[in-house]
Amino acid sequence: MSEIRYTDQHEWVRVEGDIATIGITDYAQEQLGDVVYVELPEVGTQIAAGDEAAVVESVKAASEVYAPVSGEVIEVNEDLDGSPAGVNEDAMGSGWFIKMKIEDMDELDKLMDEDSYKSFVEGLD
Amino acid sequence: MRYLPLTEADRTDMLQVIGAGLAGVKSVDDLFRDVPTHARLDGPVDLPSRMGELEVERALSRMAAKNVSAGSVPFFVGAGAYRHHVPSAVDHLIQRSEFLTSYTPYQPEVTQGTLQYLFEFQSQVAMLTGMDVANASMYDGSTGCGEAVLMAHRITKRRKAILSGTLHPQYRAVVENLSDFAGDIVEALPPALPDRTEDIISRITDDTSCVVVQTPGIFGGLHDLSAIADAAHAKGALLIAVVTEVVSLGLVTPPGEMGADIVVGEGQSIGNGLNFGGPYVGLFATRQKYVRQMPGRLCGLTKDAEGKRGFVLTLSTREQHIRREKATSNICTNSGLCSLAFTIHLSLLGEEGFTRLARINHANAVDLATRLGAVPGVEVLNEAFFNEFTLRLPRPAADIVDALADRHVLGGVPASRLMPGVAGVENLLLVASTEINTDEDRAAFAAALKEVLA
Amino acid sequence: MTAMNNQGRPTGTGMSSNRETPTFTGNRALQLEEPLIFERDNPGACGVDFDEPKAFTPRLGKLARKGSIGLPGLSEPEVIRHYVRLSSKNFSIDAGLYPLGSCTMKHNPRLNEKMARLPGFGDVHPLQPVKTVQGALELMDTLSHWLKVLTGMPAVALSPKAGAHGELCGMMAIQAALKARGEDATRKRVLVPESAHGTNPATAALIGYKVDAIPATEDGRVDLAAFKAKLGPDVAAIMLTNPNTCGLFERDIIEIADAVHEAGAFFYCDGANFNAIVGRVRPGDLGVDAMHINLHKTFSTPHGGGGPGAGPVVLSEALAPFAPLPYVTHGKDGFDLVESEAAAAADGQQPFGRMTAFHGQMGMFVRALAYMMSHGSDGLRRVAEDAVLNANYILASLKDDLSAPFEGPCMHEALFDDRFLKGTGVETLDFAKAMIDEGYHPMTMYFPLVVHGALLIEPTETESKMTLDLFIATLKDLARATKSNDKDRFLGAPHFAPRHRLDETAAARSPVLRWGVDVPRQAAD
């Protein structure tokens, strides 16, 4: 049973066992506009929660994507290299960025669930 | 004042319009009311008053006349800036209003002229250097060299550069200065005619981000970079090749074919005059895989809303106006008009003209080396060179250059001027010969040198 | 009646229609399509005449080039036509108003071009013996004098190659001065207003500073209280643009400078907007420690499609000893050029290093000095006055049609925001593109970032009232049109430029940056 959690920086994380799949939310991709490039970390990199994990670029902006949890990067979405548009097309699915091995499951408790994120976003507009 | 269109009547009318909507504005002085009172100047500062064209021309021409211009004497000065013949069409075209008085092409619909020549420039630079891509130019070769080192640090995530002894000492100073402030490390080999490849290779470690080698080197020598490239790559470091005489690329193996990862160059030789050191045009080329780590502007191809081919500035997210403190560089300008001059001149030359120009340069330099080498007490130090080489003289070169100047020959650059305080270079003289030198020029140089040394 | 001429050309106007008539070439009269120079390749043609050198023995060692380069061949007329056609696709100051805020697109006098091309300036090598370049050094010395008097500062470093390079030079001088005081390791923070040019934070970060943003007040200026709260013993400098990027003079500038100095830090001023105050206010009287001057803005060296520029930096007493190499001095036999640390030490200086090979943008120095001498101290004062007058005239004339975020008077730029576009379906970008169809270059858009959908207009002093009146009338008409139903005037704009809007997303997603196999040929439709 997988569960999706959100950060206030518009990253999402889907947890399956101790593996976290991470991407940016649909709201974020909409705000960015056409994504033209995604810079991903190397597999094996250790990243602490809140640190920069990736960079996503549109024509007019470059935004850091922060790791919602601490751990080691075990896979990156190489499809994004050739077709960054994937982020716009399916941000919550095939447009995922990285997979991490979660070090501390308790960190997930600090993140928002879907309803909280939804009302958080509504509060932004 | 001839450049200011507003008349007194205009000013009065305009102030009335402004004053109608803004309380208390009756005069121009009132428009400056946010300036603290004591900082407002009451009248003009202590400098001369306005002048007509004729007077300005007279004053500046008088200053200009105090200089010995390169075209007025047999001229053999190089060391990073070279006198070549620039066809008349170049200067005519770059002075067209549409090129001269336009800005950075941020509105691509009305700046396709600039964008297309930048694309042509990038293509030409990539071709000459044997690299995949080039940017729309840097301020000059030396600052480009500094930026290349920073780029290598970004790519390798290491902070130590090795500079070969063939690198122009002023380029070295620019790199050292930048690294010093950025907190990076530079290991510079002492100036060397050719530095021994093994001396460089033995210094490359797992901390090395890049090796910077110039060819032709500051002393004119040509260097095979392949072994250094292999050694650098084996340790995960990059090879940065520096070319200060771009005409050499018409005749010698381009750095891209010798494994360079970044090539920086001074493009002044093509299309641009000596200008006492600037403005020049920095060339910057690299491999496709590093393109997003490049500094400076880039022009890319695309289509417009109707499907017509067009050009835009692209990958701007690397740049300061978007990335701010996370930009790849703080650079805002390129060297637009100088890159246009480069592109036009190279288009006039074409493959045939450019390679022939390179052969003439080499032939002239070989001839000059032969003539000067025959002067008693003079030794030519280089085996292989392009259009510049180094002489060992029996006495300090600076004095001899001065004496030659008194005989109306500008006979090169004393190595001691570029590397003050370095032992063993006092008697070395760097000498360049390009297509501008005639047989008579070279004969006059040899005769003058003989006379000075006698 | 004498004989009627019933032969010869018809004299009517023909049939006129608004229909877009296709042409065979894709050209539209004077709007000429032009392929890339590589597509103009005419093998065997060459634009120069050189004789092959006489037979000789090459001395290239093993490094002779083997392959060809791939450069196209063209004769001179072909090259000239190519670049003339390209030029016709550019907007330029000479052709019309170019009101790019922050860029100071003023008239570029041709006298300056002529002076820079005098052989005594244009055809002189930077490494010639110093005794053969006395006039060049005199020019640099004279330019320095003018810059010092105009800014009220005691020293100037000429060598920086552009504004951002000048910023870097100034910040390096600051770091060198802090180092001399033993405080370089403790002072690691630089305060930068959020309205600053992007180069400011980029420059500070480049030499290891942490950038700390200062918020703006409701009236578009530095929030003095917030700024003071950020000051501390770890602050190295503030980087402040004045007049600022909203086109406003920082009223609290003296208090800011005093507070900075009291905290032991330095005041770097971004001089991009010096045109507004030249001859009327000296930065030296405002407590500035370092300021770069964009010669290509205030002193009218041409922008050249994006360079070359020049960015000399004026320095206060405290920073003057650290100015970089090289510099000009008055020696016993005339002017001298100090190029080494040893020579500088003998001169009592401690240069921090070198910004560039050689001595800076001499070609720009000549142009700038020609411009300054032409205006004189009286004319330069008038430059600032007219630049400010023109901007205020625009602000006053348009503030009821567009929307202005700040009350005037402004300095040399009039800033508007996008409130007037609310609910129209037209955005700042569309509005700007519609200006192209009206024959204007758009103003600076979406900068400064502190104002939503910003439109920053800098007319400069070289525009006549007649030009401004038509410009104002045009913008009023456009503003009215945004409320009408004809949105295509904006959303489809520009309609009449050499190209319609270009696909920047496609360009960035798969960059094609050079001629080669993956370049699609121009369609000959």
Per-residue pLDDT tens digits for C457-484: 999 999 999 999 999 999 999 999 999 9
C415 DSSP β-pair partners: C456
Instruction: Determine the residue of chain A that is closest to C446 in CA distance.
Output: A60
φ/ψ of B399, rounded to 5, equals -65, -40
The confidence band for C525, taking pLDDT boundaries of 50, 70 and 90, is very low
Instruction: Determine the residue of chain C that is closest to A38 in CA distance.
Output: C509
What is the spatial order of strands in the sheet that C414-416 belongs to?
Answer: C414-416, C455-457, C444-445
Q: Which of C505, C510, C512 to mutate to test the interface with A (most CBs of A within 10 A)?
A: C505
Q: Is the pLDDT of residue C522 over 70?
A: no
Taking every pair of C-alpha atoms in chain A, what is the biggest distance, in angstroms? Answer: 38
Whole-angstrom distance, CA of residue B260 vs CA of residue B196 = 18
CB of A39 within 8 Å of a chain B CB? The answer is: yes
- Distance between A39 CA and the closest CA of chain B, angstroms: 10
The confidence band for C524, taking pLDDT boundaries of 50, 70 and 90, is very low
- Each residue's pLDDT tens digit, C29-49: 998 999 999 999 999 999 999
Instruction: Determine the residue of chain A that is closest to B324 in CA distance.
Output: A62
Whole-angstrom distance, CA of residue A36 vs CA of residue C170 = 36
Q: What is the mean pLDDT of chain B?
A: 95
Q: Is B349 exposed, middle or buried (0-12, 13-18, 19+ CB in 10 A)?
A: buried
Across C101-244, where does the E strand assignment appear?
155-157, 189-193, 210-214, 235-241
The contacts of residue C41 (CB under 8 Å, 6+ apart) are C72, C73, C74
State the Cα torsion C404-C407-C410-C415 to the nearest 10°.
-20
> Which residue is listed with tokens 């002529």?
C114
CB contact under 8 A, C499 and B308: yes
Instruction: Determine the residue of chain B that is closest to C337 in CA distance.
Output: B417
- Within 8 A of A37 by CB-CB distance, chain B residues are 292, 317
CB contact under 8 A, A61 and B317: yes
The predicted pLDDT at position C19 comes to 60
Contact C28, C89 (CB under 8 A): no
Residue C169: CA atoms inside 13 Å, Cβ hemisphere, count? 34
**To 10 degrees, what angle do helices C362-398 and B8-21 make?**
50
For residues B141 and B326, which has the higher predicted lDDT (pLDDT)?
B141
Instruction: Determine the residue of chain C that is closest to A33 in CA distance.
Output: C505
- SS3 of residue B222 by DSSP: coil
**To 10 degrees, what angle do helices C134-151 and B53-64 make?**
130
- Each residue's pLDDT tens digit, C114-132: 999 999 999 999 999 999 9
Pairing of strands B282-286, B262-266: antiparallel
Percent share of chain B, pLDDT over 90: 91
Pairing of strands B282-286, B133-134: antiparallel
In chain A, residues 61-120 whose CB comes closer than 8 Å to chain C:
84-85
- Within 8 A of B292 by CB-CB distance, chain A residues are 37, 39
Which residue from B270, B226, B211, B262 is spatially nearest to B246, judged by alpha carbons? B270
Q: What is the mean pLDDT of chain C?
A: 94
- Each residue's pLDDT tens digit, B101-111: 999 999 999 99
Whole-angstrom distance, CA of residue B272 vs CA of residue B283 = 13
- Each residue's pLDDT tens digit, C249-261: 999 999 999 999 9
The predicted pLDDT at position A2 comes to 62
Q: Which of C446, C502, C509, C510 to mutate to test the interface with A (most CBs of A within 10 A)?
A: C509
The predicted pLDDT at position C13 comes to 73
State the Cα torsion A74-A80-A82-A87 to the nearest 10°.
180
Amino acid present at B422: V
- Within 8 A of C130 by CB-CB distance, chain B residues are none
CB contact under 8 A, A57 and C509: no
- Each residue's pLDDT tens digit, B177-206: 999 999 999 999 998 876 688 899 999 999
The contacts of residue B179 (CB under 8 Å, 6+ apart) are B146, B149, B161, B185, B186
CB of C135 within 8 Å of a chain B CB? The answer is: yes
Q: Is the pLDDT of residue A1 over 60?
A: no
CB contact under 8 A, C60 and B63: no
- Distance between B404 CA and the closest CA of chain C, angstroms: 10
The predicted pLDDT at position C437 comes to 97
The predicted pLDDT at position B23 comes to 86
HEC states along A70-118? CEEEEEECCHHHHCCCHHHHCCCCCCCCEEEEECCHHHHHHCECHHHHH
Smallest Cβ–Cβ distance between B17 and the set C377, C393, C432 belongs to: C393
The predicted pLDDT at position C17 comes to 59
Stretch C266-282: mean pLDDT: 96
Residue B419: CA atoms inside 13 Å, Cβ hemisphere, count? 25
- Each residue's pLDDT tens digit, A79-104: 998 889 999 999 999 999 999 999 99
User: What structural domains and CATH numbers belong to chain A?
Assistant: 3-104 (2.40.50.100)
CB of C521 within 8 Å of a chain A CB? The answer is: no
Two structure tokens written together for B411 = 């006979």
Stretch B313-336: mean pLDDT: 77
- Please tell me which chains touch A, using 3 or more CB pairs under 8 Å as the contact test: B, C
Contact C457, C443 (CB under 8 A): yes
The predicted pLDDT at position A82 comes to 84
The ipTM (two decimal places) reads 0.97
CB contact under 8 A, C129 and B302: no
Which residue from B60, B127, B122, B86 is spatially nearest to B357, judged by alpha carbons? B86
- Distance between B314 CA and the closest CA of chain A, angstroms: 8
In chain C, residues 316-345 whose CB comes closer than 8 Å to chain B:
324-325, 339-340, 342-343
- Within 8 A of B317 by CB-CB distance, chain A residues are 36-37, 57-62
Q: How many residue contacts between A and C have a Cβ separation below 8 Å?
A: 13
- Each residue's pLDDT tens digit, B247-287: 999 999 999 999 999 999 999 999 999 999 999 999 999 99
User: What structural domains and CATH numbers belong to chain C?
Assistant: 112-370 (3.40.640.10), 376-495 (3.90.1150.10)
Q: How far apart are the first and last CA of chain B?
A: 59
What secondary structure letter does DSSP report for B277?
G
- Within 8 A of A36 by CB-CB distance, chain C residues are 505, 508-509
- Each residue's pLDDT tens digit, A13-66: 999 999 999 999 999 999 888 999 999 999 999 999 999 999 999 887 888 999
User: What structural domains and CATH numbers belong to chain B?
Assistant: 70-84+350-453 (3.90.1150.10), 88-344 (3.40.640.10)
- Each residue's pLDDT tens digit, C156-202: 999 999 999 999 999 999 999 999 999 999 999 999 998 888 889 99
Two structure tokens written together for C339 = 């190029």
Smallest Cβ–Cβ distance between C90 and the set B53, B110, B314 belongs to: B110
CB contact under 8 A, B292 and A60: no
